[in-house]
Structure 1
């Protein structure tokens, strides 16, 4: 019987694993600090050493018809909890090992730059909170566009890498596919769309209070951009990039809830504004899209659930940090597969 040697770390591999671990740690630390910033900026916490005015008071100073209602702050709690959940999963993967080494790097679905982008997102959030509380609206809004842009970049990385390594994971670690899809990708999509909607409202504030565009028109522009964005997502998810995006379900929910908070704030039964009706129409359209997506997913069969041909596995396309030592690695993995 051939005894396979254990995986080992070359010096450059060890440095890469360390870089990965440090990137995850920085992402976790910045996430915690940004949560502290958010708590300190709430009405019940001001004034304090960091904020003298709450975020809500500043929003009331620069109102729009599409400004979100006060109860929408509860969404941030859910979104941040979801973000902490997939970050915790990343920390756990640093400690778990498979035949190649640390699970977090083998295969490397989320490289260090993935977590570095998330750290940048949190830093931008903190600084935008600070500027917003000081009523530096233009600078705060510019920073508010960093989180959605970087979050969508992270989603792209996660989609493409999971698709690349899905066949290997389906045999060796099928539970990881579900965790990436429903924890990381859905959590990222939730945060990306929530931050995108906040950035669009901030854009409306700048157009109204800095450029002098009248409010009804500004609110219409914001709602139109929202509708175009959600239609684009629906087309990509349903027709063009289905195999990557079909398991992302949180987008329609967060859009409907955000539009709902805009609707409740501007709704007046005796004086129904045109933008309120427009907002309700987009909510209905998004709900229909969500139902179509759910039906489509139920009718489609995931490729990873199909029986796989029993043949020796090829790992040339599996990008890993740690490599099995010697020529016995293929024999070892083949024997594991046959078992």
Structure 2
């Protein structure tokens, strides 16, 4: 994978584009040979809303690269530029490895490269990606996905994670670690982007659980059961389960567990309480139970999360 081409279009955000330039475009002498880096796109494209790019190679040059990097798109809700979509499709057909950073996944999906594959993007846009492209198996909880010749990353800084992963694949762990030290970033972050997603808020008043959800949220530390929830809602357990799935997409117990874990997340960030105390206050019972469910949901144990996000 000697040559890397970066696809730039008008209006592209700057952050992920710059990350790719830092990783692939600067030879720091860390390996005997580095990448031949090319920027392709429309000359005079406005990047980041204010920087005008002078580009010597058109999008058709993507097809000559071993690896094509597609950074964030301007607007994931809008149709992607047809010229970019076709150029990315042609590059992949010619044998290129194609990687998207953040919402660049929408370009890959439009090109049909993600059909039947696992893929990710920024957590704020995973639902839209799944809705627009039902043939894609969207995973909202990971930092990046390597599916061989097609790779996708989550939002913003996760683009750097994916770029370092590509270096690790091409040049080995030692080179990737040395590059990470030079860039003053971790060579591999623990967990996925699930730990960065804000806790879900209760829905508005126009649904059958409008009164129950705030009531349950105020009592997450108590040993609530489905029977308790059904009694408070004034409905049968079966009817309760149906409404919960319609409103939250979860069963009552799964929703309650999710709220307990998010409450533990909040206490880890804002309090001095130990893990055992937090487990008791969130209805998880023991630190062992809290660690198990917290790790399943966020990909890291509570102690690691606290070190990362403590105010």
The structure richer in helix per residue is: 1
The structure richer in strand per residue is: 2
What's the TM-score once normalised by structure 1's chain length? 0.31
What's the TM-score once normalised by structure 2's chain length? 0.33
